[in-house]
Amino acid sequence: MEPYRAPWWLPGPHLQTILAKPLACNQRVTYDRRDRWDTPDGDFIDVDWVGPEDAPRLLVLFHGLEGNSHSHYAREIAVHALADGWRFAVPHFRGCSGELNRRARAYHAGDSEEIAWILERFAAQHPAVHAIGVSLGGNALPKWLAERGAAAEGVVRRAAAVSAPIDLTRMGDRLSHGLNQYYGRFFLERGLRTKALRKIGLFPEEHAAAGVNAARVRATRTLPEFDDALTGPLHGFADRFDYWRRASTADLLTGIRVPTLLLNARNDPLLPERVLPTPAALPDSVQTDFPRQGGHAGFPGRRQWLARRTLEFLSEGAS
């Protein structure tokens, strides 16, 4: 398949990131079913499904920060997957399906335990599960693959990670400076901070026990500040630096045994190019595709190149 090249009128990583959504395909995806799955700790997640129930292959997509089944990349991948005869499912991370979850905890970029039980439940229902993670989901998925090693082959056939922030410390540094601070403000003002404050009001004792303070969360203006005030301590990390270090996937990739594609633009505004691994440092099971352009979870235009490229890899050897 041809390598990605951004349209000439979309120069630079920020335009290629920010305009990916408005330039996405305008085909609607009507999910035919939503299932609510109870989690092992008494919470729930919602799973949206589309495609023939008797399809020989199931594609599970793990979305990015505050994403959902209607995120632009989910819609584009769904459209192409349906055209190729896949069953397609999007499990929403806790609190991302339009309803607050039942527990104080939410989700984070290193939540491989959540990935584990979700994929194992899919595998119990379908014999040929394939998985793709985008952005935050693109770090959590390969983290699980690496931790599980050869045992993951009994759960998923092939996997892909798109624009994965595999070094969260480097990403956090990027998000603290210059124009990159825009991305954090976008998510915080879009509803991430408000949702967190509502959860603190619903579960004050649990948040207090974790050292989470509502006033500090309310004052956050960047994603690193938010990770320090809430994401880290709420999920058992000492602070944002401990969270970033323990949740990152970069040093774990050699443990992956499932055939996996790492797809990342070299101009991703959230991850320095020098962080991207060299093929020589990876096992044969991991294939890399690092186009010069594309932004973060972007790759706009070119007939939905992102969807076509990931499905091309996931379809290799599929039956």
We report the CATH number of the domain holding residue 31 as: 3.40.50.1820
Q: pTM for the complete prediction?
A: 0.95
Look at residues 247, 269, 293 and tell me which one is the last residue of a structural domain: 247
- Mean pLDDT estimate for the chain: 93
133 φ, ψ to 5°?
-120, 140
Going by pLDDT thresholds of 50, 70 and 90, the confidence category of residue 246 is very high
Looking at the chain, the whole-number percentage of residues with pLDDT higher than 70 is 99
Q: Which residues form the catalytic set? A: 135, 268, 296
Q: What is the pLDDT of residue 126?
A: 93
Residues 60 and 161 in one domain: yes
The pair of three-digit structure tokens given for residue 227, joined into one six-digit string: 């990770």
Q: How confident is the model at residue 2 (pLDDT cuts 50, 70, 90)?
A: confident
Confidence of residue 158 (pLDDT cuts 50, 70, 90): very high
Structural domain of residue 242, as residue ranges? Answer: 168-247
Sheet (strand 87-91) strand order: 33-38, 44-50, 87-91, 58-62, 129-134, 159-162, 260-263, 286-289
Q: At residue 52, does pLDDT exceed 80?
A: yes
* pLDDT, mean of residues 233-259: 96
Domain stops at, among 247, 274, 299 = 247
Comparing C-alpha atoms, which of 130, 190, 144, 148 is closest to residue 312?
A: 130
pLDDT at 91: 98
Cα–Cα dist 231/240, whole Å: 8
**272 in the same domain as 156:** yes
Last residue of a domain, one of 247, 262, 297: 247
Q: What is the pLDDT of residue 186?
A: 86
Q: Tell me, what's the pLDDT at 317?
A: 65
Q: How far is CA 178 from CA 172, 173, 228, 244, 270, in A?
A: 12, 10, 19, 20, 11
Q: Are residues 83 and 113 in the same domain?
A: yes
Please check whether residues 207 and 259 belong to one and the same domain. no
Do both 26 and 95 map to the same domain? yes
Count up the domains in the chain and report the number: 2
Where is 201: in which H helix or E strand?
A: helix 193-202
Q: Tell me: do 225 and 155 sit in the same domain.
A: no
Q: Are residues 203 and 57 in the same domain?
A: no
Q: Does the pLDDT at position 11 exceed 60?
A: yes
Indicate whether 146 and 243 sit together in one domain. Answer: no
What confidence score (pLDDT) does residue 171 get? 93
Considering the domain architecture, whether residues 141 and 273 belong to the same structural domain is answered as yes
Whether the predicted pLDDT of 278 surpasses 80 = yes
- Is residue 39 domain-shared with residue 181, that is, in the same domain? no
Q: Identify whether residues 199 and 294 lie together within a single domain.
A: no
Residues 175 and 198 in one domain: yes
| pLDDT given at position 318 | 55
